[in-house]
Each structure stands twice: as structure tokens, then as C-alpha cells.
């Protein structure tokens, strides 16, 4: 890297830079900003005819003050629910912009000719159709021209690409719903068995006995009662549940690693069967393809936004929250939550860059920091007041960070996500510009030469790559990018086709939260909660034993039970409801949407509950 480049700006990005001080008519003094770009394109939002409370009666009288610690998805979700009910809310956020891991970031030095800077992100955003809490919030964020607010900015992918290396045929998996699913009330285990066997027979090279065994394991989980899931299957690794160690490499790659590491950055060898089976196999795949338990009749399995995340969602959200009276203290680091006499008495904060400490005060406090940061702010007295806080030390986080490649030519690859099944770094990706129907990439971003953005995510940072033989953590930033590009080409440039070329790549961007790569102590400030066995029993509830202290974040125990934006939003709803209960408020409680439970399987689960109490295995469990 050269000295003039910021730490998160690549050397080959130099080719993207325009003049050092490019004039921008929208911003005095030159340069550009995403927010001003939004205003110039008519995407900025205000209070529209949808109203400011979404039909929820505000009942906080007199209005109480709430400090929300953290401006990510959980913090902003809590702020919206509270503001709609008349609370005075201040959000304290570490970064200078809102959204946490979901926000977009300008790539420095890339704007020219009145365009916005190239958009960078921590990693691509994915909104599965089974998300229901988050889209409910998005509907209540006004956007001009969208009857359903920000939710109207979602676009559906129509297929997924399971890309194979070494010349093996790729699998294009259609994401459209089953055209003739069983009518409600007629879904049976045998129908599911036949459909799964057909898919595995057509799309894989699995031996017949391995495919049959896996389908049998899916039926075991589908018909297991809640008690068995929360005890036996929560404590059983997915790898062991499907007996991956005894099966072929193809079986382990497709049904072990491909369903866990590549999708939720957790290892099949340790991932909770309850989480993998309930969320990925059932909610995402089975019920998604059947169109059950989805976010409305128009919801599809795979949805993404129609512009960079902050443009399509976070900036309109901020505008709406400000219109509701929410205040923001950006660039503020939460240092310690102070506890005395059975209550939170204040929170010690400081400006992120060289500011003096100060203590903020409110009537209630919602801790919406990521767990790896939140638990550092809980002192011994607070931990003693509620033992579930100490159990959060056992929760595990891991790296799942993306790199955005800016390309000279449109390269959509597939109209949906790409899963590079054989990549040692468990790479997933998506071509983004194809979904940005309100944007022309070359016209709106950078210096006009980049026409597409391939956003790729590395989920496995601890296995050697194919280029340098080093893990991602051991590589320098440039080596990480080169290795990732090589793994993408290895998966996509085969079977006689060339999808990616070195000449087509203009530059790249990686979240600056990743530091120290190639050195003795690499760090990632934006990690992701993972789900090893037993995690469920260490996850706290939103309600704590401290009457004015509440938790929100994707580590809080929720029905969705997955580190996700949906889990973050659901946890915020739980936190607000707990706060309303603590006050004895008569305000309407936040609605909570749970994962779909097919009614046809409830009798089988009741049978399994009896068998579980008697110490017997599930009816379909043949070992």
C-alpha cells in the first residue's frame, strides 16, 4: 500500500481515484457524501402521510428518557418502538454513522465528476422471506413512492448458484416456491422425504444411502418436540447429528460445511443442531420453498436491497427517527454501565477520538451493543445483580467479513447468491448492481469506470488458502484479497467459461474494522455471534433483574435463535415490551412474530414429547 491510501483502501484502488479535490456541486468545497447524494436523487425521506407513530398510541406520560446504547439494527429498532410510544430517546453510537455492521461506507478518494463515492459495506445484506419482525419495522419507515416504506426497496433473487471447483458442474438452484405444494393440512413426512430425495438425487453426487440417511435426519428434527430440541439437539453438533464424519467428502461438503460455515459462519463440527435444523433447514429452505410462514404473499426466499444498504434503508430510518424526536450522539464510546442500589445510575461514555469522560443519565437504559462490546461495560456489581450477564462470557463470536470488488463490466453471474462450496475460506458472494434498479452504477458512483460490484464474504478465517497456503488471519490485507479473488475464480472460471478476469478488476474495499492482518495480533471489531452446542442456555433474556436495564442484540434469546438482523430486531421488541411492563405502561406492546410451525406436525411432536419423557428416541430416529 502507498502512503496516500487510507488503511482500508487497496493499492489497486488507486486506479479508481479521481482528482484529489473533485468538485461536487452538491457539497461546498468539493468531495461528496452519501447523504447529500441521496438528497440529490430524491431518496432522502421525511415524515410522510404514513404518520409518525405507525398507528401506535403513545402512552408514556409524562415522557420518560431512554438511553439506547448502540446504533445498530437492534438499537435503532428499539428507538423506533420507544419513540412511537412517546419516549424521549437518545441513541449513543460508536461510529460516526448509524447502522452498525449493516451500514454502508464511502470508499475514500473514489468520487469524481459529481458522483457519489463507491459504496463499501461490511458484507452484503440478505433478507430471507421468513424474516417477519424486521420487515414489519421496515414497513413503518416512510420512503417516497413506496406504499410499504423501506420494505418496498427489497428485491428478490430467483436462483442460487452452488459453484464447484476443479471443473465440476455447478448447481443452479431455483428459489421460486414449489408450484403445487400440499394444501394446508395435508403436508406429510413422506411428501417431504420424496421431495428432498428428488433434489439430492438430481443435484448432487451423493450415494443413495447417504441421501436417504440425511433425509431421515431431517424428518427426525421436523417431528422432535420442543423439549428434545432445546435439550438433546441443542447439545448435539450438526456434524454428529447427520453423522458427517462417517460419510463421503461430498456429503460433508454439501450437507455439513455448506449448510453451516458458508451461511452463518459457524462450524458444522460444533454448530447446534437445534439452530441449524430449525432455522436453516426448516424456516429458510423447507417452509420458504412451500411459501409458509413468510413475510406476506409476495415474499421470496432470497431478498436484497435495491441500493447500498444505507441509501435504501439506514438513511431513511435515521430521517424517520429524527422526525419522531430521537436524538443521536455519534462517535461516542460506551465505557461502563454504572450500577448502585439496585438500579443503573448512569453510563460513562467518551468521544471515540480523544474525548473526556462524561456520565449520561436516563430513566431507562437499553444496552444494544454487540455482545463482545457489551460485556466489557458490565462491571462486577452489575454482573452480580443478574447472573445471566456473566453467562454471556461463554458466548462465542467469530469473523465473517466481506470484500467488495469493483468491476469494469457488468458481471451478475447469477440472479441471486453464490455459494462457493469447495472454497477453503467458505466464500459466498452476490453481484449487486443487477438488483439496484434505481441506480446506474457507472453514472452514480466512483469515477464512471466501475460498472458492477461483486460483494464476497469470507466465513472461514482459520484454514489455509489455495494461493499462499496461509489462513486468512495470517495474510496481509493484499494477500487476503488476492487469495479471495483466486478462490472466486477457482469456483466460477471452470467448465469452459471465464467469468472473472484480472483485467476486469478495478479495486476493492474491506471493512476498516479489520486491522492488523499479517501481524501477530489481527483484530476484527465487527464479529458475528456463532452457535456452538449449548449456546442457547447462555443467551440472556431482554429483561434483566435490574428494573431499569434491558438488553437488545442478536445474542439475546429470541424465537429466531440466529445471529441475524431479524434476531436483533426481535430482541429490541422484547426489550421494549419488558420496559413497558416495568413501568406498568398501558401502551400497546410490540408485536412478536415467531417462526412458522406447520400444524400437520404438531400431533407428531406431541407423540415425541411423550417418548422424550419416557427416555425413548424420536419415532423416525433409526440411529
pLDDT digits (tens, 9 = 90+) for 266-295: 778 889 999 999 999 999 989 998 999 999
| Res 31 pLDDT > 70 | no
Work out the average pLDDT over 102-106.
96
Q: What confidence tens digit (pLDDT) does each residue in 566-577 have?
A: 999 999 999 999
Q: CA-CA distance, 426 to 407, in Å (whole number)?
A: 22
Residue 164, class by beta-carbon neighbours within 10 Å (0-12 exposed, 13-18 middle, 19+ buried)?
buried
> Which residues is 334 bridged to in the sheet?
349
Q: Which of 82-96, 132-146, 196-210, 211-225 has the lowest mean pLDDT?
A: 196-210
- Tell which residue, 433, 437, 426, has the closest CA to residue 407: 433
Look at the alpha carbons of 185, 186, 188, 193 in this order and tell me if their dihedral is positive or negative: negative
Cell 453464490, residue located: 418
Q: How confident is the model at residue 494 (pLDDT cuts 50, 70, 90)?
A: confident
Return the domain boundaries, the chain.
1-59+109-128+147-177+296-307+400-526, 179-290+598-613
Higher pLDDT, 298 or 232: 232
What pLDDT, on the 0 to 100 scale, is given for residue 56?
60
Q: CA-CA distance, 181 to 290, in Å (whole number)?
A: 6
| Res 203 pLDDT > 80 | no
| Res 512 pLDDT > 80 | yes
620 touches 217 (CB < 8 A): no
Beta strands in 7-122 (DSSP E): 65-69, 88-92, 104-106, 119-121
Q: CA-CA distance, 116 to 105, in Å (whole number)?
A: 11
Cell 438500579, residue located: 343
Q: What confidence tens digit (pLDDT) does each residue in 357-380 have?
A: 999 999 999 999 999 999 999 999
Work out the average pLDDT over 37-60.
41
591 touches 572 (CB < 8 A): no
| Res 4 pLDDT > 60 | no
Q: CA-CA distance, 623 to 616, in Å (whole number)?
A: 12
Q: How confident is the model at residue 177 (pLDDT cuts 50, 70, 90)?
A: confident
Question: What share of the chain has pLDDT > 70, as a percent?
Answer: 89
What pLDDT, on the 0 to 100 scale, is given for residue 262?
59
Work out the average pLDDT over 122-140.
96
Work out the average pLDDT over 192-202.
87
- Tell which residue, 537, 86, 135, 491, has the closest CA to residue 303: 135
| Cβ atoms within 10 Å, residue 95 | 19
Q: CA-CA distance, 249 to 347, in Å (whole number)?
A: 52
Q: How confident is the model at residue 349 (pLDDT cuts 50, 70, 90)?
A: very high
Higher pLDDT, 384 or 32: 384
Work out the average pLDDT over 429-457.
96
| Res 388 pLDDT > 80 | yes
Report strand pairing: 159-163 vs 171-174: antiparallel
90 touches 68 (CB < 8 A): yes
- What 3-state DSSP class applies to 40? helix
Distinct helix (H) and strand (E) counts, the chain: 20, 23
Task: Give one DSSP letter per residue of 242-288, joined into a string.
Answer: TTGGGS-HHHIIIIIIHHHHHHHS--TTTBBHHHIIIIIIIIIIIHH
Cell 400437520, residue located: 600
What pLDDT, on the 0 to 100 scale, is given for residue 19?
28
Q: CA-CA distance, 522 to 60, in Å (whole number)?
A: 46
| Res 42 pLDDT > 90 | no
Q: CA-CA distance, 154 to 296, in Å (whole number)?
A: 13
> What interhelical angle do 73-84 and 565-583 show, nearest 10?
40
> Residue 506 is inside which H or E element, if any?
strand 505-510
CA 396 to chain centre: 16
**Mean of per-residue pLDDT scores for the chain:** 89
For 425-437, give one letter per residue: b (16+ CB within 10 A) or e.
Answer: bbbbbbbbbbbbe
Q: How confident is the model at residue 264 (pLDDT cuts 50, 70, 90)?
A: low
Residues 6+ apart with CB under 8 A from 422: 164, 165, 166, 168, 253, 490, 491
- The pTM (predicted TM-score) of the whole model is 0.90
Higher pLDDT, 201 or 234: 234
CA angle 543, 544, 547 (to 5 degrees): 95
46 touches 573 (CB < 8 A): no
Q: Omega into 73 within 30° of 0, i.e. cis?
A: no
Amino acid at each position: 500500500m502507498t502512503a496516500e491510501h487510507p488503511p482500508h483502501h487497496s493499492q489497486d484502488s488507486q486506479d479508481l481515484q479521481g482528482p484529489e479535490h473533485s468538485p461536487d456541486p452538491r457539497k461546498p468545497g468539493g468531495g461528496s457524501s452519501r447523504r447529500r447524494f441521496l438528497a440529490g436523487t430524491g431518496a432522502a425521506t421525511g415524515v410522510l402521510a404514513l404518520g409518525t407513530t405507525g398507528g401506535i398510541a403513545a402512552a408514556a406520560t409524562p415522557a420518560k428518557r431512554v438511553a439506547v446504547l448502540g446504533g445498530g439494527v437492534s438499537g435503532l429498532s428499539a428507538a423506533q418502538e420507544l419513540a412511537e410510544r412517546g419516549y424521549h430517546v437518545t441513541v449513543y453510537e460508536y461510529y460516526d454513522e448509524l447502522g452498525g455492521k449493516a451500514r454502508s461506507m464511502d470508499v475514500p478518494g473514489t468520487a469524481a465528476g459529481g458522483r457519489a463515492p463507491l459504496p463499501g459495506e461490511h458484507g452484503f445484506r440478505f433478507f430471507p422471506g421468513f424474516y417477519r419482525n424486521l420487515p414489519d419495522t421496515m414497513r413503518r419507515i416512510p420512503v417516497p413512492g413506496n406504499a410499504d416504506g423501506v420494505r418496498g426497496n427489497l428485491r428478490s433473487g430467483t436462483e442460487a448458484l452452488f459453484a464447484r471447483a476443479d471443473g465440476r458442474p455447478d448447481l443452479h438452484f431455483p428459489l421460486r416456491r414449489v408450484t403445487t405444494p400440499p394444501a394446508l393440512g395435508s403436508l406429510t413426512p413422506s411428501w417431504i422425504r420424496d421431495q428432498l430425495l428428488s433434489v439430492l438425487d438430481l443435484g448432487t453426487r451423493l450415494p443413495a444411502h447417504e441421501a436417504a440417511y440425511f433425509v431421515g435426519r431431517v424428518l427426525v428434527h421436523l417431528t422432535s418436540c420442543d423439549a428434545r430440541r432445546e435439550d438433546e439437539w441443542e447439545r448435539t453438533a450438526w456434524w454428529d447429528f447427520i453423522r458427517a464424519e462417517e460419510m463421503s467428502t461430498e456429503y460433508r461438503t454439501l450437507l455439513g460445511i455448506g449448510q453451516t460455515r458458508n451461511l452463518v459462519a459457524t462450524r458444522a463440527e460444533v454448530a447446534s443442531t437445534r439452530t441449524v435444523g430449525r432455522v436453516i433447514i426448516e424456516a429458510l429452505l423447507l417452509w420458504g420453498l412451500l411459501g409458509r410462514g413468510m413475510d406476506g404473499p409476495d415474499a421470496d426466499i432470497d431478498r436484497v436491497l435495491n441500493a447500498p444498504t444505507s441509501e435504501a434503508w439506514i438513511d431513511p430510518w435515521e430521517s424517520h427517527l429524527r422526525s419522531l424526536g430521537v436524538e443521536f450522539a455519534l462517535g461516542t464510546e460506551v465505557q461502563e454501565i454504572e450500577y448502585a442500589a439496585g438500579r443503573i445510575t448512569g453510563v460513562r461514555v467518551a468521544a471515540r477520538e480523544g474525548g473526556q469522560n462524561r456520565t449520561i443519565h436516563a430513566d431507562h437504559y437499553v444496552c444494544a451493543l454487540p455482545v463482545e462490546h457489551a460485556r466489557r461495560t458490565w462491571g462486577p456489581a452489575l454482573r452480580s445483580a443478574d447472573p445471566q450477564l456473566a453467562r454471556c462470557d461463554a458466548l462465542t463470536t467469530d469473523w465473517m467479513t466481506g470484500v467488495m470488488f469493483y468491476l469494469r463490466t457488468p458481471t451478475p453471474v447469477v440472479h441471486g447468491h453464490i455459494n462457493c462450496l469447495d472454497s477453503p475460506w467458505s466464500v459466498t458472494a452476490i453481484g449487486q448492481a443487477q438488483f439496484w434498479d434505481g441506480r446506474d452504477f457507472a453514472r452514480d458512483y466512483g469515477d464512471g469506470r466501475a460498472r458492477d460490484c461483486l460483494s464476497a464474504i469470507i466465513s472461514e478465517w482459520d484454514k489455509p488458502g489455495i494461493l499462499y497456503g496461509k489462513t486468512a488471519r495470517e495474510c496481509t490485507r493484499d494477500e487476503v484479497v488476492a487469495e479471495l479473488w483466486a478462490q472466486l475464480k477457482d469456483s466460477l472460471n471452470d467448465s469452459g467459461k471465464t467469468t472473472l478476469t484480472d483485467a476486469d478488476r478495478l479495486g476493492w474495499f474491506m471493512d476498516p474494522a479489520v486491522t492488523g492482518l499479517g501481524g501477530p495480533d489481527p483484530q476484527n471489531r465487527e464479529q458475528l455471534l456463532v452457535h456452538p452446542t449449548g449456546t442457547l442456555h447462555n443467551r440472556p433474556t431482554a429483561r434483566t433483574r435490574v428494573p431499569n436495564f434491558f438488553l437488545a442484540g442478536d445474542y439475546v434469546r429470541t424465537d429466531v435463535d440466529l445471529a441475524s438482523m431479524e434476531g436483533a430486531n426481535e430482541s429490541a421488541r422484547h426489550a421494549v415490551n419488558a420496559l413497558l411492563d416495568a413501568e406498568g405502561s398501558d401502551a400497546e406492546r410490540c408485536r412478536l412474530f415467531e417462526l412458522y410451525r406447520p400444524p400437520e406436525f404438531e400431533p407428531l411432536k406431541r407423540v415425541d414429547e411423550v417418548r422424550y419423557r419416557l427416555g425413548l428416541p424420536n419415532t423416525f430416529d433409526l440411529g
